């Protein structure tokens, strides 16, 4: 598409957008009576208007049914997660039995690593991307130490080549192959939180399996952002949060994926809890853990009904959008337009004021565009916020802007560019 850096062009794209009506299903934060242009869905998604209603329904159930709410009412809590499973599965390309809403992201990562990081003899190492989100780094370090290994020797981090900001797939697969004899686990983010790079998950999975390793992904920045096919890609396990692109609310419930090929593996270790016990005989209260079949067997505690309700409100909007294919189509154009606008700013300024470090290829990125701002980078970001454009700051000089197709518009992108240009001209 041949873009134009005009407000009329942006408005025309919005007029042609079949998903534009979904914007009205969200609540935008405001300052001084004016709504923000919200480009921070990569950190915390907006509140769906339906969130208050669905939460209110569950509060009413609690009020009117008390403990009987577990088995009575329109959405008995005992089985509420099953409704969510059906809505979650298409977002990550899984079968409903392979996914489950539960806990929070890093808790789920630890629970899955109990099962899928089983170092033995020579095969004890983990490969991950350098610069992964700190919680992943801490989780992996602690897991390695728990098994009696030194993170310095047990964790292999892959960094971009000198002068580059993103990883090359050939470098990832080569490192996996080079360490095959000692490799127990490949664990990557689906999308790197800092650069916005979408890793080639199918190729990483193939390389990991060829090396005899288990392959898992943290999909915090990928689930609800890009189309995924976890089942068909033969990924062993994955987990994600719901509060970013899936708008499940701050600290919202997490989700897990376990490939069905592992369902009948009796050798898998796990940290067990009552809610993961076989549902049909759970209330017999017998000793000896018998897991429920599927991802549900990794549950620990009873369903977190209120966070599930908030997640449910957003999942229904994904369903209304037609799930990931139409959202991805819009996202590709939105992101390309944002990159175009950044380039236009540089041309008007006559210098490389902003450097996009997110990959050029649309197949290697999601909705997030990370830009290095030259000069007074923090000041530029603060000026954006003061003028009702809310992105995300990362030290030392990176501004992350994420145009989310569920609620962002092309006009949002254009106006952000106009403001950036104005800020830079005033410096």
pLDDT digits (tens, 9 = 90+) for 398-415: 999 999 999 999 999 999
Question: How far, in Å, CA of 398 to CA of 101, rounded?
Answer: 32
Question: How far, in Å, CA of 118 to CA of 268, rounded?
Answer: 9
pLDDT at residue 32, as a whole number: 86
pTM value? 0.96
Max intra-chain CA distance, the chain: 73
Q: Do residues 191 and 221 make contact, with C-beta atoms less than 8 angstroms apart?
A: yes
Whether 7-47+323-426 and 54-321 share one fold: the answer is: no
Q: Do residues 218 and 240 make contact, with C-beta atoms less than 8 angstroms apart?
A: yes
Distances (CA, A) of 322 to 14, 24, 242, 308: 18, 17, 18, 21
Boundaries of every domain in the chain: 7-47+323-426, 54-321
pLDDT at residue 121, as a whole number: 87
pLDDT mean for each 10 residues of the chain (427 residues): 96 98 98 95 98 97 97 94 97 98 97 97 96 95 97 97 97 98 98 98 98 98 98 98 98 97 94 94 92 96 96 98 98 98 97 96 98 94 97 96 98 98 92
DSSP character at residue 292:
P
Please tell me the CATH code under which domain 7-47+323-426 is placed.
3.90.1150.10
pLDDT at residue 257, as a whole number: 98
**For the CA atoms of the chain, what is the radius of gyration?**
22
The count of other CB atoms within 10 Å of the CB of residue 386 is 10
| Domain 54-321: top CATH class | alpha beta
pLDDT tens, residue by residue, 336-374: 999 999 999 999 999 999 999 999 999 999 999 999 999
pLDDT at residue 161, as a whole number: 97
Beta bridge partners of 277: 291
Question: How far, in Å, CA of 322 to CA of 19, rounded?
Answer: 10
Q: In a 3-state reduction of DSSP, which class is residue 2?
A: coil
Beta bridge partners of 214: 185
Burial of 403 (C-beta count, 10 Å sphere; 0-12/13-18/19+):
buried
Helices (H) and strands (E) in the chain, counts: 12, 17
Question: How far, in Å, CA of 269 to CA of 265, rounded?
Answer: 10
Edge-to-edge strands of the sheet including 368-373? 354-356, 368-373, 398-402, 392-394
Q: Do residues 368 and 402 make contact, with C-beta atoms less than 8 angstroms apart?
A: yes
pLDDT at residue 427, as a whole number: 81
């Amino acid at each position: 598409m041949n873009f134009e850096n005009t407000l009329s062009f942006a408005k025309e794209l919005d007029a042609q957008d079949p998903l534009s009506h979904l914007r009205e299903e969200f609540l935008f934060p405001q300052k001084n009576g004016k709504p923000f242009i919200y480009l921070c869905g990569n950190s915390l998604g907006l509140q769906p208007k339906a969130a208050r209603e669905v939460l209110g329904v569950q509060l009413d159930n609690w009020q009117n049914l008390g403990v009987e709410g577990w088995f009575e009412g329109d959405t008995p809590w005992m089985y509420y997660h099953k409704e969510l499973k059906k809505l979650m599965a298409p977002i990550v390309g899984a079968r409903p039995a392979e996914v489950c809403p539960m806990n929070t992201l890093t808790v789920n990562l630890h629970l899955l690593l109990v099962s899928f990081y089983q170092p033995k003899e020579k095969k004890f190492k983990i490969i991950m991307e350098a610069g992964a989100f700190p919680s992943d780094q801490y989780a992996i370090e602690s897991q390695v130490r728990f098994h009696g290994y030194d993170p310095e020797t047990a964790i292999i981090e892959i960094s971009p080549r000198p002068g580059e900001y993103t990883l090359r797939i050939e470098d990832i697969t080569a490192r996996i192959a080079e360490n095959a004899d000692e490799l127990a686990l490949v664990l990557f983010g689906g999308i790197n939180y800092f650069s916005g790079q979408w890793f080639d998950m199918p190729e990483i999975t193939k390389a990991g399996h060829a090396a005899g390793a288990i392959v898992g992904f943290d999909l915090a920045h990928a689930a609800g952002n890009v189309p995924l096919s976890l089942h068909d890609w033969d990924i062993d396990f994955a987990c994600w949060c719901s509060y970013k692109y899936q708008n499940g609310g701050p600290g919202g419930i997490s989700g897990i994926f376990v490939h069905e090929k592992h369902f009948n593996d009796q050798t898998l270790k796990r940290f067990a809890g009552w809610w993961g016990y076989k549902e049909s005989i759970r209330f017999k209260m017998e000793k000896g853990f018998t897991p429920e079949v599927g991802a549900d067997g990794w549950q620990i505690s009873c369903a977190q009904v209120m966070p599930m309700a908030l997640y449910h409100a957003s999942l229904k909007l994904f369903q209304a959008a037609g799930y990931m294919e139409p959202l991805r189509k819009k996202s590709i154009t939105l992101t390309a337009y944002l990159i175009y606008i950044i380039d236009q700013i540089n041309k008007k300024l006559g210098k490389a004021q902003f450097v996009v470090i997110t990959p050029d290829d649309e197949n290697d990125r999601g909705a997030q565009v990370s830009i290095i701002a030259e000069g007074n980078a923090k000041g530029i970001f603060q000026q954006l916020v003061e003028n009702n454009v809310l992105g995300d700051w990362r030290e030392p000089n990176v501004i992350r802007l994420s145009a989310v197709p569920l609620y962002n518009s092309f006009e949002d992108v254009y106006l952000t560019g106009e403001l950036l240009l104005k800020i830079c001209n005033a410096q």
